[in-house]
Structure 1
Amino acid sequence: MNDLTTPQGVLAYLSNTCFAATNVQRIVGGFSSFTYRVTLSLPLEDGSTTLVLKHYEGYVAASPGFKLDSARSEFEYNALVALWDSGLVDGDSVVQVPRPIHYDRETHSIFLADLGSDIVNLNVMFDDRLQGAYSDPDLAEIQNVASTIGSALGDFLGRVHGWSSFSEHRAPFLHPHRQEDLFKIFRDLAARSATKFGIKEEWLTNMLAEELRKSSTDDQVLVMGDFSL
Protein backbone atom coordinates (compact mmCIF):
# COMPACT_ATOMS: atom_id res chain seq x y z
CA MET A 1 0.00 0.00 0.00
CA ASN A 2 1.40 3.37 -1.04
CA ASP A 3 1.59 6.27 1.39
CA LEU A 4 -0.60 8.90 -0.25
CA THR A 5 0.34 11.53 2.31
CA THR A 6 3.61 12.11 0.42
CA PRO A 7 4.33 13.12 -3.21
CA GLN A 8 6.61 10.08 -3.58
CA GLY A 9 3.83 7.74 -2.46
CA VAL A 10 1.34 9.35 -4.83
CA LEU A 11 3.79 9.04 -7.73
CA ALA A 12 4.18 5.31 -7.03
CA TYR A 13 0.41 4.86 -6.65
CA LEU A 14 -0.31 6.58 -9.97
CA SER A 15 2.21 4.40 -11.82
CA ASN A 16 -0.31 1.54 -11.65
CA THR A 17 -3.22 3.61 -12.99
CA CYS A 18 -4.20 5.32 -16.24
CA PHE A 19 -2.99 8.55 -14.61
CA ALA A 20 0.73 7.69 -14.54
CA ALA A 21 2.74 10.80 -13.77
CA THR A 22 6.16 12.33 -14.22
CA ASN A 23 5.85 14.72 -11.29
CA VAL A 24 3.70 15.20 -8.18
CA GLN A 25 3.77 18.46 -6.23
CA ARG A 26 2.02 19.14 -2.92
CA ILE A 27 -0.26 22.17 -3.21
CA VAL A 28 0.20 24.56 -0.30
CA GLY A 29 -2.94 25.55 1.56
CA GLY A 30 -4.85 22.27 1.75
CA PHE A 31 -6.53 21.78 5.13
CA SER A 32 -8.77 18.73 5.20
CA SER A 33 -7.09 16.69 2.47
CA PHE A 34 -3.63 16.03 1.07
CA THR A 35 -3.80 17.92 -2.23
CA TYR A 36 -1.40 17.53 -5.15
CA ARG A 37 -0.85 18.86 -8.65
CA VAL A 38 0.00 15.92 -10.91
CA THR A 39 1.93 16.24 -14.18
CA LEU A 40 0.76 13.37 -16.37
CA SER A 41 2.92 11.12 -18.52
CA LEU A 42 0.21 11.19 -21.19
CA PRO A 43 -2.41 13.92 -21.63
CA LEU A 44 -6.07 13.32 -20.87
CA GLU A 45 -8.62 13.02 -23.68
CA ASP A 46 -9.28 16.77 -23.51
CA GLY A 47 -5.57 17.51 -23.89
CA SER A 48 -4.93 18.38 -20.24
CA THR A 49 -1.41 17.57 -19.09
CA THR A 50 -2.06 18.06 -15.36
CA LEU A 51 -4.74 17.25 -12.83
CA VAL A 52 -5.33 17.76 -9.12
CA LEU A 53 -5.55 14.82 -6.72
CA LYS A 54 -7.13 15.16 -3.28
CA HIS A 55 -6.47 12.30 -0.87
CA TYR A 56 -8.36 11.93 2.40
CA GLU A 57 -7.23 10.16 5.54
CA GLY A 58 -9.23 9.56 8.72
CA TYR A 59 -7.99 12.87 10.04
CA VAL A 60 -7.49 16.46 8.90
CA ALA A 61 -4.31 16.80 6.84
CA ALA A 62 -3.32 20.07 8.51
CA SER A 63 -4.04 18.73 12.01
CA PRO A 64 -3.61 14.95 12.44
CA GLY A 65 -5.15 15.06 15.91
CA PHE A 66 -8.42 16.27 14.36
CA LYS A 67 -10.24 13.03 13.42
CA LEU A 68 -12.71 12.95 10.51
CA ASP A 69 -14.26 10.07 8.58
CA SER A 70 -12.37 9.54 5.31
CA ALA A 71 -15.73 8.78 3.64
CA ARG A 72 -16.11 12.56 3.38
CA SER A 73 -14.19 12.19 0.11
CA GLU A 74 -17.12 10.37 -1.50
CA PHE A 75 -19.49 13.08 -0.31
CA GLU A 76 -17.36 15.76 -1.98
CA TYR A 77 -16.98 13.80 -5.20
CA ASN A 78 -20.72 13.14 -5.49
CA ALA A 79 -21.49 16.79 -4.75
CA LEU A 80 -19.13 17.96 -7.51
CA VAL A 81 -20.61 15.45 -9.97
CA ALA A 82 -24.12 16.66 -9.12
CA LEU A 83 -23.04 20.28 -9.50
CA TRP A 84 -21.60 19.72 -12.97
CA ASP A 85 -24.50 17.51 -14.07
CA SER A 86 -26.95 20.22 -12.99
CA GLY A 87 -25.61 22.71 -15.51
CA LEU A 88 -25.00 25.29 -12.78
CA VAL A 89 -21.38 25.60 -13.83
CA ASP A 90 -19.41 25.06 -17.02
CA GLY A 91 -16.09 26.00 -18.54
CA ASP A 92 -17.28 29.54 -19.35
CA SER A 93 -18.59 30.36 -15.86
CA VAL A 94 -16.98 33.26 -13.99
CA VAL A 95 -16.99 31.16 -10.82
CA GLN A 96 -15.07 27.98 -11.55
CA VAL A 97 -15.52 24.71 -9.68
CA PRO A 98 -13.14 21.77 -10.23
CA ARG A 99 -14.61 19.20 -12.62
CA PRO A 100 -14.50 15.67 -11.15
CA ILE A 101 -12.64 13.16 -13.30
CA HIS A 102 -12.41 9.99 -11.20
CA TYR A 103 -12.94 8.70 -7.68
CA ASP A 104 -10.93 5.89 -6.09
CA ARG A 105 -13.12 4.61 -3.29
CA GLU A 106 -10.45 2.24 -2.00
CA THR A 107 -7.92 4.99 -1.32
CA HIS A 108 -10.43 7.82 -0.74
CA SER A 109 -8.88 9.90 -3.51
CA ILE A 110 -10.57 12.37 -5.87
CA PHE A 111 -9.13 13.25 -9.28
CA LEU A 112 -10.09 16.74 -10.46
CA ALA A 113 -9.50 18.92 -13.50
CA ASP A 114 -6.70 21.39 -12.80
CA LEU A 115 -7.98 24.97 -12.86
CA GLY A 116 -4.41 26.14 -13.36
CA SER A 117 -1.47 27.20 -11.23
CA ASP A 118 -2.06 30.82 -12.24
CA ILE A 119 -5.52 30.87 -10.65
CA VAL A 120 -5.54 33.20 -7.63
CA ASN A 121 -7.70 32.14 -4.69
CA LEU A 122 -9.79 34.74 -2.88
CA ASN A 123 -7.57 34.85 0.21
CA VAL A 124 -4.51 35.76 -1.85
CA MET A 125 -6.46 38.28 -3.88
CA PHE A 126 -7.83 40.09 -0.84
CA ASP A 127 -4.62 39.90 1.18
CA ASP A 128 -2.07 40.77 -1.48
CA ARG A 129 -3.66 42.32 -4.53
CA LEU A 130 -6.72 44.27 -3.49
CA GLN A 131 -5.08 45.82 -0.44
CA GLY A 132 -2.42 47.31 -2.69
CA ALA A 133 -5.11 49.06 -4.69
CA TYR A 134 -6.03 51.17 -1.68
CA SER A 135 -2.78 53.09 -2.12
CA ASP A 136 -4.03 54.24 -5.52
CA PRO A 137 -6.08 57.43 -5.34
CA ASP A 138 -8.32 56.07 -8.10
CA LEU A 139 -10.41 53.29 -6.52
CA ALA A 140 -12.37 52.57 -9.69
CA GLU A 141 -10.37 49.41 -10.41
CA ILE A 142 -10.81 47.84 -6.99
CA GLN A 143 -14.49 48.75 -6.97
CA ASN A 144 -14.95 47.12 -10.35
CA VAL A 145 -13.10 43.95 -9.30
CA ALA A 146 -15.03 43.72 -6.03
CA SER A 147 -18.33 44.24 -7.83
CA THR A 148 -17.53 41.56 -10.40
CA ILE A 149 -16.50 39.03 -7.75
CA GLY A 150 -19.48 39.78 -5.53
CA SER A 151 -22.00 39.59 -8.37
CA ALA A 152 -20.55 36.34 -9.71
CA LEU A 153 -20.43 34.67 -6.30
CA GLY A 154 -23.90 35.88 -5.37
CA ASP A 155 -25.39 34.61 -8.61
CA PHE A 156 -23.63 31.25 -8.38
CA LEU A 157 -24.41 30.60 -4.70
CA GLY A 158 -28.00 31.70 -5.16
CA ARG A 159 -28.47 29.19 -7.98
CA VAL A 160 -26.79 26.42 -5.95
CA HIS A 161 -29.10 27.07 -3.00
CA GLY A 162 -32.12 27.26 -5.29
CA TRP A 163 -31.20 23.99 -7.01
CA SER A 164 -30.61 22.17 -3.72
CA SER A 165 -33.94 23.36 -2.30
CA PHE A 166 -35.60 20.61 -4.35
CA SER A 167 -35.77 17.43 -2.28
CA GLU A 168 -34.70 15.18 -5.17
CA HIS A 169 -31.47 17.14 -5.52
CA ARG A 170 -30.78 17.45 -1.81
CA ALA A 171 -31.72 13.94 -0.65
CA PRO A 172 -28.44 12.17 -1.60
CA PHE A 173 -26.50 14.53 0.66
CA LEU A 174 -28.65 14.42 3.77
CA HIS A 175 -26.71 12.70 6.52
CA PRO A 176 -28.13 14.02 9.83
CA HIS A 177 -25.55 12.24 11.98
CA ARG A 178 -22.70 13.78 9.98
CA GLN A 179 -24.33 17.20 10.12
CA GLU A 180 -24.57 16.89 13.87
CA ASP A 181 -20.95 15.76 14.18
CA LEU A 182 -19.80 18.68 12.03
CA PHE A 183 -21.76 21.23 14.02
CA LYS A 184 -20.38 19.77 17.25
CA ILE A 185 -16.93 20.68 15.94
CA PHE A 186 -17.98 24.28 15.28
CA ARG A 187 -19.77 24.44 18.63
CA ASP A 188 -16.68 23.26 20.49
CA LEU A 189 -14.42 25.66 18.60
CA ALA A 190 -16.75 28.58 19.30
CA ALA A 191 -16.98 27.69 22.99
CA ARG A 192 -13.21 27.30 23.23
CA SER A 193 -12.61 30.69 21.61
CA ALA A 194 -15.19 32.36 23.85
CA THR A 195 -13.51 30.90 26.93
CA LYS A 196 -10.07 31.96 25.70
CA PHE A 197 -11.16 35.58 25.32
CA GLY A 198 -13.26 35.65 28.48
CA ILE A 199 -16.60 36.20 26.77
CA LYS A 200 -18.27 32.84 27.32
CA GLU A 201 -21.70 33.49 28.81
CA GLU A 202 -24.84 31.45 29.41
CA TRP A 203 -26.66 32.89 26.38
CA LEU A 204 -23.86 31.71 24.09
CA THR A 205 -23.92 28.20 25.55
CA ASN A 206 -27.71 28.06 25.14
CA MET A 207 -27.56 29.37 21.58
CA LEU A 208 -24.95 26.80 20.54
CA ALA A 209 -26.98 24.00 22.14
CA GLU A 210 -30.10 25.12 20.26
CA GLU A 211 -28.24 25.34 16.95
CA LEU A 212 -26.90 21.82 17.52
CA ARG A 213 -30.45 20.55 18.06
CA LYS A 214 -31.70 22.30 14.93
CA SER A 215 -28.84 20.97 12.81
CA SER A 216 -30.25 17.45 12.97
CA THR A 217 -33.91 18.37 12.40
CA ASP A 218 -34.18 21.45 10.20
CA ASP A 219 -34.63 21.28 6.45
CA GLN A 220 -31.43 22.50 4.82
CA VAL A 221 -29.75 23.29 1.52
CA LEU A 222 -26.29 22.57 0.17
CA VAL A 223 -23.61 25.20 0.63
CA MET A 224 -20.38 25.73 -1.26
CA GLY A 225 -17.68 25.91 1.36
CA ASP A 226 -14.38 26.05 -0.50
CA PHE A 227 -13.17 28.23 -3.36
CA SER A 228 -9.46 27.65 -2.88
CA LEU A 229 -8.85 25.45 -5.92
Structure 2
Amino acid sequence: MDTSEIDAKVLESLQGTTLACSALKPISGGTVNWNYHATLVKPLENGFTEVLVKHGERHMKTRPEFKLEFLRCQIESECYKSLTHRPFTGGTGATDSFSFTVRTPEFIHFDEENLNQFLEYLPQGTTLKSYLFGDHHLTSSGPESSVSLEPQFQQLGKAIGTWLTRFVKWAAKQAELRQTVAKNAEAQRIRHWVSFLWLHDRIKEYPAILGDVKGVLEEVEQAVAAELRDERKLQVIHGDLAIGNIVLPDAPLRQHDNIPVFIVDWEMAELGVPTTDLGHVVVDLYALWMYKSIKPALWIMQGLVNAYGEVTEESAFRTALYIGSHLICLITVSDWLPADQVEEVVRHGRDIVVHAWKKDRSWFEKGELRCLFHQIA
Protein backbone atom coordinates (compact mmCIF):
# COMPACT_ATOMS: atom_id res chain seq x y z
CA MET A 1 0.00 0.00 0.00
CA ASP A 2 1.60 3.28 -1.11
CA THR A 3 1.35 6.66 0.63
CA SER A 4 -1.61 7.91 -1.42
CA GLU A 5 -3.58 4.76 -0.59
CA ILE A 6 -2.85 5.19 3.12
CA ASP A 7 -3.88 8.87 2.93
CA ALA A 8 -7.20 7.82 1.38
CA LYS A 9 -7.63 5.04 3.95
CA VAL A 10 -7.18 7.45 6.86
CA LEU A 11 -9.55 10.02 5.36
CA GLU A 12 -12.23 7.40 4.79
CA SER A 13 -11.91 6.11 8.37
CA LEU A 14 -12.79 9.59 9.68
CA GLN A 15 -15.97 10.02 7.66
CA GLY A 16 -19.18 9.92 9.67
CA THR A 17 -17.37 10.32 13.01
CA THR A 18 -17.10 13.24 15.41
CA LEU A 19 -13.58 13.67 14.02
CA ALA A 20 -14.65 14.00 10.39
CA CYS A 21 -12.46 16.54 8.65
CA SER A 22 -12.81 19.01 5.82
CA ALA A 23 -9.09 18.83 5.09
CA LEU A 24 -6.40 16.26 5.84
CA LYS A 25 -2.87 17.45 5.14
CA PRO A 26 0.11 15.07 5.45
CA ILE A 27 2.89 16.32 7.73
CA SER A 28 6.36 15.73 6.33
CA GLY A 29 8.98 13.81 8.26
CA GLY A 30 8.76 10.73 10.41
CA THR A 31 10.16 7.32 9.56
CA VAL A 32 7.69 4.99 11.28
CA ASN A 33 4.17 6.45 11.17
CA TRP A 34 1.99 8.76 9.06
CA ASN A 35 1.08 12.13 10.59
CA TYR A 36 -1.64 14.49 9.41
CA HIS A 37 -2.99 17.94 10.20
CA ALA A 38 -6.76 17.54 10.21
CA THR A 39 -9.18 20.46 10.00
CA LEU A 40 -12.42 19.32 11.61
CA VAL A 41 -15.89 19.75 10.14
CA LYS A 42 -17.24 20.55 13.62
CA PRO A 43 -15.29 21.81 16.65
CA LEU A 44 -14.80 19.37 19.51
CA GLU A 45 -16.33 19.98 22.94
CA ASN A 46 -13.00 21.37 24.14
CA GLY A 47 -13.02 23.92 21.30
CA PHE A 48 -10.38 22.28 19.09
CA THR A 49 -11.01 22.94 15.40
CA GLU A 50 -7.91 21.07 14.24
CA VAL A 51 -6.11 17.97 15.49
CA LEU A 52 -3.07 15.88 14.73
CA VAL A 53 -3.85 12.40 13.40
CA LYS A 54 -1.13 9.80 13.88
CA HIS A 55 -1.70 6.64 11.86
CA GLY A 56 0.18 3.36 12.30
CA GLU A 57 0.66 0.33 10.09
CA ARG A 58 2.32 -3.05 10.55
CA HIS A 59 5.47 -1.72 8.91
CA MET A 60 7.70 1.34 8.91
CA LYS A 61 6.69 4.25 6.71
CA THR A 62 10.13 4.58 5.13
CA ARG A 63 11.08 0.88 5.18
CA PRO A 64 8.00 -1.23 4.42
CA GLU A 65 10.05 -4.42 4.68
CA PHE A 66 10.64 -3.67 8.39
CA LYS A 67 7.62 -5.14 10.20
CA LEU A 68 6.19 -3.69 13.41
CA GLU A 69 3.67 -4.69 16.07
CA PHE A 70 0.45 -2.78 16.70
CA LEU A 71 1.25 -2.84 20.42
CA ARG A 72 3.39 0.27 19.99
CA CYS A 73 0.30 2.33 19.10
CA GLN A 74 -1.62 1.06 22.13
CA ILE A 75 1.32 1.78 24.45
CA GLU A 76 1.69 5.30 23.09
CA SER A 77 -2.00 6.12 23.41
CA GLU A 78 -1.99 4.95 27.04
CA CYS A 79 1.00 7.19 27.76
CA TYR A 80 -0.72 10.19 26.21
CA LYS A 81 -3.93 9.41 28.07
CA SER A 82 -2.12 9.21 31.41
CA LEU A 83 -0.04 12.31 30.78
CA THR A 84 -3.06 14.35 29.68
CA HIS A 85 -4.22 14.13 33.31
CA ARG A 86 -0.72 14.75 34.67
CA PRO A 87 -0.36 17.12 37.63
CA PHE A 88 2.76 18.79 36.24
CA THR A 89 4.32 20.77 33.41
CA GLY A 90 7.82 22.08 32.84
CA GLY A 91 8.46 25.78 32.72
CA THR A 92 10.58 28.76 33.59
CA GLY A 93 10.50 30.93 36.72
CA ALA A 94 8.78 34.22 37.47
CA THR A 95 12.07 36.10 37.15
CA ASP A 96 12.95 34.59 33.76
CA SER A 97 12.46 36.83 30.73
CA PHE A 98 11.19 33.99 28.51
CA SER A 99 8.18 31.84 29.32
CA PHE A 100 7.87 28.21 28.19
CA THR A 101 5.33 25.54 29.07
CA VAL A 102 6.59 22.02 28.39
CA ARG A 103 4.06 19.17 28.35
CA THR A 104 2.64 16.41 26.19
CA PRO A 105 -0.10 17.23 23.67
CA GLU A 106 -3.61 16.59 24.94
CA PHE A 107 -4.93 13.11 24.20
CA ILE A 108 -8.27 13.14 22.36
CA HIS A 109 -9.06 9.63 21.12
CA PHE A 110 -7.54 6.36 19.95
CA ASP A 111 -9.31 4.48 17.16
CA GLU A 112 -7.85 1.05 17.81
CA GLU A 113 -9.57 -0.55 14.81
CA ASN A 114 -7.94 1.84 12.32
CA LEU A 115 -4.85 2.61 14.45
CA ASN A 116 -5.47 6.35 14.42
CA GLN A 117 -4.44 8.47 17.38
CA PHE A 118 -5.96 11.94 17.72
CA LEU A 119 -3.90 14.51 19.58
CA GLU A 120 -3.74 18.23 20.20
CA TYR A 121 -2.19 20.01 17.22
CA LEU A 122 0.53 22.64 17.64
CA PRO A 123 0.13 25.16 14.81
CA GLN A 124 3.30 25.84 12.82
CA GLY A 125 5.18 23.34 14.96
CA THR A 126 8.65 22.05 14.19
CA THR A 127 11.05 19.75 15.99
CA LEU A 128 13.81 21.15 18.16
CA LYS A 129 16.26 19.41 15.84
CA SER A 130 14.92 21.25 12.78
CA TYR A 131 14.74 24.47 14.78
CA LEU A 132 18.43 24.30 15.68
CA PHE A 133 19.44 23.43 12.14
CA GLY A 134 17.42 26.40 10.87
CA ASP A 135 18.22 30.09 11.13
CA HIS A 136 15.93 31.10 14.02
CA HIS A 137 18.93 31.53 16.31
CA LEU A 138 20.66 33.72 13.71
CA THR A 139 18.31 36.69 13.78
CA SER A 140 21.28 39.01 13.38
CA SER A 141 24.96 38.53 12.65
CA GLY A 142 28.09 38.84 14.71
CA PRO A 143 29.29 37.40 18.02
CA GLU A 144 27.79 40.26 20.04
CA SER A 145 24.25 39.47 18.95
CA SER A 146 24.84 35.74 19.36
CA VAL A 147 25.81 36.16 23.00
CA SER A 148 22.59 38.10 23.65
CA LEU A 149 20.57 35.04 22.60
CA GLU A 150 22.00 32.86 25.36
CA PRO A 151 19.28 33.56 27.98
CA GLN A 152 16.41 32.42 25.77
CA PHE A 153 18.04 29.10 24.95
CA GLN A 154 19.23 28.55 28.52
CA GLN A 155 15.66 29.12 29.67
CA LEU A 156 14.27 26.77 27.01
CA GLY A 157 16.63 24.12 28.37
CA LYS A 158 15.55 24.97 31.90
CA ALA A 159 11.90 24.37 30.98
CA ILE A 160 12.68 21.00 29.35
CA GLY A 161 14.85 19.95 32.29
CA THR A 162 12.12 20.93 34.76
CA TRP A 163 9.60 18.85 32.84
CA LEU A 164 11.95 15.86 32.72
CA THR A 165 12.72 15.80 36.43
CA ARG A 166 9.01 16.11 37.25
CA PHE A 167 8.20 13.34 34.79
CA VAL A 168 10.79 11.05 36.43
CA LYS A 169 9.22 11.60 39.86
CA TRP A 170 5.68 11.18 38.50
CA ALA A 171 6.47 8.07 36.46
CA ALA A 172 8.02 6.30 39.45
CA LYS A 173 4.57 6.27 41.11
CA GLN A 174 2.44 5.11 38.14
CA ALA A 175 1.80 1.44 38.90
CA GLU A 176 -0.93 0.98 36.27
CA LEU A 177 1.05 2.68 33.51
CA ARG A 178 4.08 0.62 34.49
CA GLN A 179 2.13 -2.59 33.90
CA THR A 180 1.11 -1.34 30.45
CA VAL A 181 4.56 -0.14 29.44
CA ALA A 182 6.17 -3.37 30.70
CA LYS A 183 4.55 -5.10 27.72
CA ASN A 184 6.77 -3.06 25.39
CA ALA A 185 9.72 -5.44 25.70
CA GLU A 186 10.50 -4.99 22.01
CA ALA A 187 11.14 -1.27 22.51
CA GLN A 188 13.46 -2.04 25.40
CA ARG A 189 15.32 -4.56 23.25
CA ILE A 190 15.69 -2.09 20.38
CA ARG A 191 16.94 0.70 22.66
CA HIS A 192 19.63 -1.54 24.15
CA TRP A 193 20.51 -2.89 20.73
CA VAL A 194 21.13 0.45 19.02
CA SER A 195 22.59 2.27 22.04
CA PHE A 196 24.89 -0.41 23.47
CA LEU A 197 24.95 -3.70 21.52
CA TRP A 198 26.13 -1.84 18.44
CA LEU A 199 29.35 -1.19 20.34
CA HIS A 200 30.42 -4.70 19.26
CA ASP A 201 29.90 -3.74 15.60
CA ARG A 202 31.78 -0.48 15.98
CA ILE A 203 34.76 -2.31 17.51
CA LYS A 204 34.98 -4.33 14.29
CA GLU A 205 34.53 -1.23 12.11
CA TYR A 206 37.10 0.92 13.93
CA PRO A 207 39.68 -1.50 15.41
CA ALA A 208 42.45 1.11 15.38
CA ILE A 209 40.37 3.40 17.61
CA LEU A 210 38.38 0.96 19.74
CA GLY A 211 40.51 -2.19 19.74
CA ASP A 212 42.54 -1.24 22.81
CA VAL A 213 39.38 -0.58 24.86
CA LYS A 214 37.39 -3.56 23.60
CA GLY A 215 37.28 -5.07 27.08
CA VAL A 216 35.89 -1.89 28.64
CA LEU A 217 33.21 -1.49 25.97
CA GLU A 218 32.13 -5.11 26.38
CA GLU A 219 31.95 -4.70 30.16
CA VAL A 220 29.79 -1.60 29.74
CA GLU A 221 27.35 -3.37 27.42
CA GLN A 222 27.10 -6.37 29.75
CA ALA A 223 26.57 -4.16 32.80
CA VAL A 224 23.73 -2.28 31.12
CA ALA A 225 22.15 -5.55 29.97
CA ALA A 226 22.29 -6.85 33.55
CA GLU A 227 20.71 -3.63 34.76
CA LEU A 228 17.69 -4.25 32.52
CA ARG A 229 17.19 -7.69 34.03
CA ASP A 230 16.63 -6.19 37.49
CA GLU A 231 13.17 -4.62 37.17
CA ARG A 232 13.39 -3.20 40.69
CA LYS A 233 15.77 -0.56 39.30
CA LEU A 234 13.53 0.30 36.35
CA GLN A 235 10.60 2.63 35.85
CA VAL A 236 8.55 4.09 33.01
CA ILE A 237 10.73 6.17 30.66
CA HIS A 238 10.05 7.89 27.35
CA GLY A 239 12.65 5.70 25.66
CA ASP A 240 13.35 7.98 22.69
CA LEU A 241 13.75 11.50 24.08
CA ALA A 242 15.58 12.82 21.05
CA ILE A 243 15.46 16.48 20.03
CA GLY A 244 13.46 15.27 17.04
CA ASN A 245 10.68 14.38 19.50
CA ILE A 246 10.47 17.82 21.10
CA VAL A 247 8.17 20.21 19.22
CA LEU A 248 7.91 24.00 19.46
CA PRO A 249 6.53 26.80 17.26
CA ASP A 250 8.52 27.44 14.08
CA ALA A 251 9.19 31.09 14.95
CA PRO A 252 11.78 33.18 16.79
CA LEU A 253 11.53 32.99 20.58
CA ARG A 254 10.13 36.20 22.00
CA GLN A 255 10.01 37.63 25.49
CA HIS A 256 6.67 37.68 27.32
CA ASP A 257 5.11 35.10 24.98
CA ASN A 258 4.01 31.86 26.63
CA ILE A 259 5.74 29.42 24.28
CA PRO A 260 4.32 25.87 24.19
CA VAL A 261 6.74 22.94 23.88
CA PHE A 262 5.41 19.41 23.30
CA ILE A 263 7.11 16.11 24.18
CA VAL A 264 5.89 13.65 21.54
CA ASP A 265 6.35 10.13 20.11
CA TRP A 266 5.84 7.78 23.06
CA GLU A 267 5.73 4.47 21.20
CA MET A 268 9.18 3.56 22.56
CA ALA A 269 7.99 4.03 26.16
CA GLU A 270 9.48 1.19 28.17
CA LEU A 271 10.84 0.17 31.53
CA GLY A 272 14.34 1.57 31.88
CA VAL A 273 16.59 3.79 33.96
CA PRO A 274 15.84 7.54 33.96
CA THR A 275 19.40 8.34 32.89
CA THR A 276 18.45 6.97 29.46
CA ASP A 277 16.06 9.87 28.78
CA LEU A 278 18.43 12.45 30.23
CA GLY A 279 21.41 11.02 28.35
CA HIS A 280 19.51 10.86 25.06
CA VAL A 281 18.43 14.50 24.96
CA VAL A 282 21.82 15.68 26.26
CA VAL A 283 23.85 13.73 23.68
CA ASP A 284 21.72 15.08 20.83
CA LEU A 285 22.39 18.65 21.95
CA TYR A 286 26.04 17.99 22.80
CA ALA A 287 26.69 16.51 19.36
CA LEU A 288 25.24 19.54 17.57
CA TRP A 289 27.53 21.77 19.58
CA MET A 290 30.64 19.60 19.21
CA TYR A 291 30.35 18.72 15.52
CA LYS A 292 28.15 21.45 14.00
CA SER A 293 29.19 24.36 16.27
CA ILE A 294 25.54 25.21 17.01
CA LYS A 295 26.00 27.18 20.19
CA PRO A 296 22.29 27.38 21.13
CA ALA A 297 22.41 23.58 21.48
CA LEU A 298 25.09 23.99 24.16
CA TRP A 299 23.04 26.62 25.98
CA ILE A 300 19.93 24.43 25.94
CA MET A 301 21.97 21.50 27.24
CA GLN A 302 23.40 23.56 30.10
CA GLY A 303 20.01 24.94 31.10
CA LEU A 304 18.43 21.49 30.91
CA VAL A 305 21.03 19.72 33.06
CA ASN A 306 21.05 22.49 35.67
CA ALA A 307 17.25 22.37 35.94
CA TYR A 308 17.23 18.58 36.20
CA GLY A 309 18.48 19.06 39.74
CA GLU A 310 20.44 16.93 42.17
CA VAL A 311 21.79 13.58 41.05
CA THR A 312 24.13 11.05 42.61
CA GLU A 313 27.66 10.77 41.27
CA GLU A 314 26.81 7.23 40.18
CA SER A 315 23.86 8.55 38.17
CA ALA A 316 26.02 11.23 36.54
CA PHE A 317 28.55 8.62 35.39
CA ARG A 318 25.69 6.41 34.13
CA THR A 319 24.38 9.34 32.05
CA ALA A 320 27.88 9.88 30.69
CA LEU A 321 28.12 6.20 29.71
CA TYR A 322 24.94 6.57 27.68
CA ILE A 323 26.25 9.73 26.01
CA GLY A 324 29.56 8.17 25.01
CA SER A 325 28.01 4.94 23.77
CA HIS A 326 25.33 6.81 21.83
CA LEU A 327 28.01 8.88 20.11
CA ILE A 328 29.80 5.73 18.99
CA CYS A 329 26.71 3.74 18.03
CA LEU A 330 24.28 6.28 16.59
CA ILE A 331 25.75 9.73 16.05
CA THR A 332 28.31 8.11 13.74
CA VAL A 333 25.49 7.17 11.36
CA SER A 334 23.58 10.47 11.58
CA ASP A 335 22.55 11.94 8.24
CA TRP A 336 23.98 15.33 9.22
CA LEU A 337 27.50 14.15 10.16
CA PRO A 338 30.14 14.52 7.40
CA ALA A 339 32.10 11.36 6.67
CA ASP A 340 35.40 13.00 7.58
CA GLN A 341 34.15 13.60 11.15
CA VAL A 342 33.04 10.06 11.93
CA GLU A 343 36.36 8.86 13.35
CA GLU A 344 36.58 11.99 15.51
CA VAL A 345 33.18 11.13 16.98
CA VAL A 346 34.26 7.53 17.63
CA ARG A 347 37.38 8.73 19.47
CA HIS A 348 35.44 11.21 21.56
CA GLY A 349 32.73 8.70 22.40
CA ARG A 350 35.42 6.19 23.37
CA ASP A 351 37.05 8.65 25.75
CA ILE A 352 33.72 9.51 27.40
CA VAL A 353 32.83 5.85 27.94
CA VAL A 354 36.27 4.92 29.29
CA HIS A 355 36.46 7.82 31.75
CA ALA A 356 32.85 7.32 32.86
CA TRP A 357 33.53 3.61 33.44
CA LYS A 358 36.64 4.50 35.46
CA LYS A 359 34.61 7.16 37.34
CA ASP A 360 37.22 9.75 36.46
CA ARG A 361 35.35 12.91 37.40
CA SER A 362 38.41 15.14 36.97
CA TRP A 363 38.48 14.32 33.24
CA PHE A 364 34.88 15.49 32.80
CA GLU A 365 35.55 18.72 34.68
CA LYS A 366 37.78 19.82 31.78
CA GLY A 367 35.01 19.74 29.16
CA GLU A 368 31.43 20.82 28.48
CA LEU A 369 30.01 17.68 30.11
CA ARG A 370 31.18 18.95 33.49
CA CYS A 371 27.62 20.24 33.92
CA LEU A 372 26.57 16.62 34.59
CA PHE A 373 28.45 16.79 37.90
CA HIS A 374 27.49 20.27 39.10
CA GLN A 375 24.60 19.15 41.31
CA ILE A 376 25.84 15.99 42.98
CA ALA A 377 23.67 15.17 45.99
- Tell me the TM-score normalized by structure 2: 0.53
1:19 aligns with 19
Is the 1:180–1:216 Cα contact (8 Å) retained in structure 2?
A: no
- 1:34 deviates by 1.2
Partners of 2:216 and 2:141 lie apart in 1 by 42
- 1:43 deviates by 1.8
2:35 aligns with 35
- 1:181 deviates by 2.5
Which of 152, 155, 165 is matched with 1:158 structurally? 165
CA offsets 1:113-170 (integer angstroms, 9 cap, x no match): 1111x22321122111355258332234420221111110010000000111225365
Is the 1:89–1:96 Cα contact (8 Å) retained in structure 2?
A: yes
1:4-15 counterparts in 2 under 5 A? 6-15=6-15
2:125 aligns with 119
Matched, 1:221 2:240: no
Is the 1:38–1:51 Cα contact (8 Å) retained in structure 2?
A: yes
Is the 2:138–2:146 Cα contact (8 Å) retained in structure 1?
A: no
- 1:32 deviates by 2.4
- 1:223 deviates by 3.0
Higher relative contact order (CA 8 A, sep 6+): 2
Partners of 2:128 and 2:158 lie apart in 1 by 14
2:76 aligns with 76
Return the structure number with greater helix share. 2
Is the 1:38–1:52 Cα contact (8 Å) retained in structure 2?
A: yes
Stretches of structure 2 that go unaligned for 5 or more consecutive residues are 91-98, 248-263, 265-377
CA offsets 1:69-97 (integer angstroms, 9 cap, x no match): 1211111111111112122249x961142
1:204 counterpart SS class: helix
1:40-119 counterparts in 2 under 5 A? 40-89=40-89, 94-116=101-123, 118-119=124-125
- Identity among equivalent positions (%) equals 20
State the AA in 2 paired with 1:44.
Answer: L
Matched, 1:171 2:190: no
Is the 1:59–1:70 Cα contact (8 Å) retained in structure 2?
A: no
Is the 1:20–1:40 Cα contact (8 Å) retained in structure 2?
A: yes
1:207 counterpart SS class: helix
- Tell me the TM-score normalized by structure 1: 0.83
Is the 2:100–2:156 Cα contact (8 Å) retained in structure 1?
A: no
Partners of 1:111 and 1:194 lie apart in 2 by 43
Compute the RMSD of aligned alpha carbons: 3.0
Change (3 A) 1:61 1:141: farther
Matched, 1:203 2:216: yes
